[in-house]
Structures are given as structure tokens and as C-alpha cells.
Amino acid sequence: MNNPFKTLDERLSNIENLLLDIKHNPTPKYEAQQDSLWLDLNELIEYDPEKRSKPTFYGYVHEGTIPYHKRGKKLIFLKAEIDEWLKLGRVKTNSEIEEESNNYLANKK
């Protein structure tokens, strides 16, 4: 007679291994879906870490400082482009600035 618990144990072990594979090797398809995610203005405000207002974003669009797309009269934003735009505002640490200046001076000689 087959032991039903042994079969159950084997199945659970297989499921656990599959989950570990997914965790450590996420599929590029999922990552591509995240990169091609579109946000409308309200979703962008929710996504923005600083929670800037609509008029602020309209100003950025008018100045051309934020990447955007337009469908008719509606503004839409590609999440991957917004992520890059947000990264542009990163302030370098003092040690990074010092390292850059040392590299510059070393190459100047």
C-alpha cells in the first residue's frame, strides 16, 4: 500500500523547489512587464516618492524636464522612464565626489 503522506511530502518538496527557482531566477517576462507599465498622472503622483502635486508635474511637462507621452489630450508616463528620471536627481556622497576628484587629478598628470 502506498503511503499518502510520502506522496504529499514529495509534492510539497517539488512545489518548494519551484518556488525557490522562481525567487532566485525571476522570469524576464515579468521584469519586461514592469518596465513597460504605463502610468497616468494620478498613478504617477501615487508612485512618486515625494508625492508632488498635479500642477508640479504639469510644470515639468511644460518645461520638458520629465519624460512623458501624450495620447490625445491625456498625459501618460512610462514607468521605466520615470524610474530613470528619478535616479537623475541622486546626490553623490562626499566619498564619491572625493573619489571622482582623485581619479580626475590622477588622470591629469
Q: Where are the domains of the chain?
A: 37-88
Say which residue the cell 581619479 belongs to: 103
Strands (DSSP E) contained in the chain are: 38-40, 69-71, 74-78
Q: What is the pLDDT of residues 18-68, one digit of tens each?
A: 888 877 776 665 555 556 899 999 999 999 999 999 999 999 999 999 999
Strands (DSSP E) contained in 25-94 are: 38-40, 69-71, 74-78
Query: pLDDT at residue 80 above 60?
Result: yes
Q: CATH number for 37-88: choose from 1.20.1530, 2.60.40, 1.10.1660, 1.20.120.
A: 1.10.1660
Spatial CA neighbour of 72 closest among 43, 40, 97: 40
Residue 32 has what pLDDT? 54
Say which residue the cell 524610474 belongs to: 83
Cα dihedral 98, 104, 105, 109, rounded to 10, equals 160
Query: pLDDT at residue 97 above 70?
Result: yes
Share of the chain above pLDDT 90, in %: 53
Query: pLDDT at residue 1 above 90?
Result: no
Q: State the chain's mean pLDDT as an integer.
A: 86
CA-based R_g, the chain, Å = 24
